[in-house]
Chain A
Amino acid sequence: MAASTTSLSFRSNDREIAAASAPSIALAVGVVALAAILQATLLHVAVIRNATPSLVLIVVVLYALRVGAERGLLIGALGGLFEDALTGGTGGSWTLATAMVAIVAGAMSRFFFSDAPQALIIAVALGSLLRSAFFWSIMSLGGYPSGLAATHLHTAILQALYTTLVAIPIILFLARSKERPVQRIKLRDFRST
C-alpha cells in the first residue's frame, strides 16, 4: 500500500505522473463526443423527475482533475459545444459552463491533487452543481425566463445526485484498472531508496 497513489497528496509528483499517464487529447475528445451522443439518443429513457445523468460532465471533471486546467479546458469547451449543438436554443451556454467547470477542476488539481475515489466522487457532485449554476446564470443573462428558478434548482440537485450515482461505478472501475505494477511506482519510492 506504500506505493499506492490513492491517498490525498499535496505533492506535485503525483499530479505530474497522473497527467503524463492520462489518455491522449484525441481519445478524450472521442470519449466526450460519444458521451454527448449517448446522452442525446439513449439516456432520455433514464430521466427521473426531469433529471438525467450527465456523462459529459463526468468525463470532463475526471479528465481535468487528471491533466490540469489547460487540457481540461479544451475538453470541457468541446464537450459543452457538442451539447449545445445537440440541444439547440442554448447558444454557447453549455460550452461556457462546462469550460468553466473544467478550469475549476483543473485548477483544483494543481493545489489539491488526489485520485482517491472518494475525492473524485465529491468533485463530480460539486462539478455538476457548479455547472448548473453557471449554465442557468448564462441563460438568464441571455434572456431565458427566470420564473422557474426553484424548479431548476431542484432539478440541478437531483441531477448532481444522479450523475454522482452513475459516476461511482465508473470511478471505481477506473481506479481498479489503474492499479498496475508499473503505475504504482512513484518518485518518492525512488527517493526513499
Chain B
Amino acid sequence: MVPIFTYRDERKLFALIATIIVASLIALVQLEYARDGKTSPLSLAVTTLSAYLEIALSAVSGGVQHAADSTASVPSLYSENQRLRGENARLRTENDALGEQLAITPSEDARRRVLERFANGIPATVIGYDPENVMRVVTIDRGANARVNRDDGVINDDGVVGRVVEVDPLTSKVLLITDVTSKLPSVVQRGRWWGIANGTMTRVKLQYVSQDAPLKVGDRVVTGEGRSFHAGILVGTISRIEPMPAGGLDQSAIIEPAVSFGRLDHVLVLPK
C-alpha cells in the first residue's frame, strides 16, 4: 500500500512550536512582573476568579468544621472554653505589652501609636495555602479593596504571622515568617539583643546576634521596629542555641514560633 502524503505532522510540529513560544512568553512575562514585585494582569485575572471559589470553599469547609466541633462538644463546655480562651488571649496580650513596657520604657507617644495601629487593624481570614507547599505563603480574604498594602504586617492572637507580599483587589498573599525568604528584625526581649529572624521552612532562626549576648532557652523574641511591624510583638521563644563556630563574631538560635501555622484561620493586618 502506498502511503498517502500528508502535511499533518508538519502542522502538528508548527502547532507545538507555537504553543511553546506562547507558553514561554507567558512565563517570561510572569517572571518579569515577579521580579518587579508586581502582580501580572494574567495572575490578577486568575486570582480574582479563583478568589471567589476559594472564599466559597473556605466558607463551606469552615461551616462543616464548625458544625462538627459544635456537635462534638457539650454546649456548656464549649462556651466556657470560648470564654477562657478569650480571657487567656487578653491576658497574654497584656503580659506581652507589660513585658515590653518594662523592658524598653517606651514613650507615651510610641505606646499610643502602637495601640492606634492595632485599633486600625484589618481583620482577615485565611482562605488559601500554597498548592504545592513549597513556599510558606497563605492567601487572606482582604485585598486592595480593604486598603491592604504590600509589606503590611500580619499578626494573630499568638504573635507575628508574616507580612503581605502581594495584593490583589479581593485577596492578598502573606509570606509567613517561616519561609526561607522571610527576614524580620527581631529583639531578644530580656536583654534587648538585636538579630534577624530568618525562616527555615518549619521554624525560625535568629541570626547575627552579638556573641556577647548570654542567650537562654526560653527567652522571648519580639519584633524590632521595622518596615512591617512596630516593636514588641511576640515572634516566639528560643528553643535551642546553636554552638558558636570558632572565630565567629555572632551567634544563632532556633526560635519556636508563637503562632501555630498549621491552624491559621483569623489574622489581623496592620496597615502602615
Interface residues of A in 90-122 (CB under 8 A from B): 90-96, 99, 103
Contact across chains for B15 and A89 when beta carbons are under 8 A apart: no
Q: Mark A144-167, 1 if CB is under 8 A from B, else 0.
A: 110110011001000100000000
A residues in contact with B133, CB < 8 Å: 44, 47, 50-52
Q: Taking each of B27, B31, B173, which has the highest tally of chain A beta carbons within 10 Å of its own beta carbon?
A: B27
Contact across chains for A88 and B26 when beta carbons are under 8 A apart: no
Q: Knowing A41-B127, A145-B181 touch, does A87 contact B132 (C-beta < 8 A)?
A: yes
B residues in contact with A43, CB < 8 Å: 131
Contact across chains for B31 and A89 when beta carbons are under 8 A apart: no
How many residues of A are counted as interface, with CB atoms below 8 angstroms from the partner's CB atoms? 48
The CA of A54 and the CA of B200, in the complex, are separated in Å by: 22
State how many angstroms separate the Cβ of B74 from the closest Cβ of chain A. 25
Nearest residue, chain A, Cβ from B61? A42
State how many angstroms separate the Cβ of B228 from the closest Cβ of chain A. 16
Contact across chains for A95 and B30 when beta carbons are under 8 A apart: yes
Asked if A81 is an interface residue, CB under 8 A from chain B, the answer is yes
Mostly, the B contact residues are helix
Supply 30 A–B pairs (Cβ within 8 Å), ascending by A. Answer: A37-B50, A37-B54, A40-B129, A41-B129, A43-B131, A44-B129, A44-B133, A51-B133, A70-B19, A73-B19, A77-B19, A83-B131, A85-B50, A86-B47, A86-B130, A88-B137, A89-B135, A89-B173, A89-B175, A90-B135, A91-B27, A91-B34, A92-B27, A92-B30, A94-B132, A96-B24, A96-B27, A99-B23, A148-B200, A151-B201
Q: Which residues of A approach B to under 8 Å, CB–CB?
A: 33, 36-37, 39-44, 47, 50-52, 54, 56, 69-70, 73-74, 77, 81-96, 99, 103, 135, 142, 144-145, 147-148, 151-152, 155, 159
Q: Which residues of B approach A to under 8 Å, CB–CB?
A: 12, 15-16, 19-20, 23-24, 26-31, 33-35, 42-43, 46-47, 50, 53-54, 57-58, 61, 127-135, 137, 139, 165-166, 173, 175, 180-181, 200-202, 262
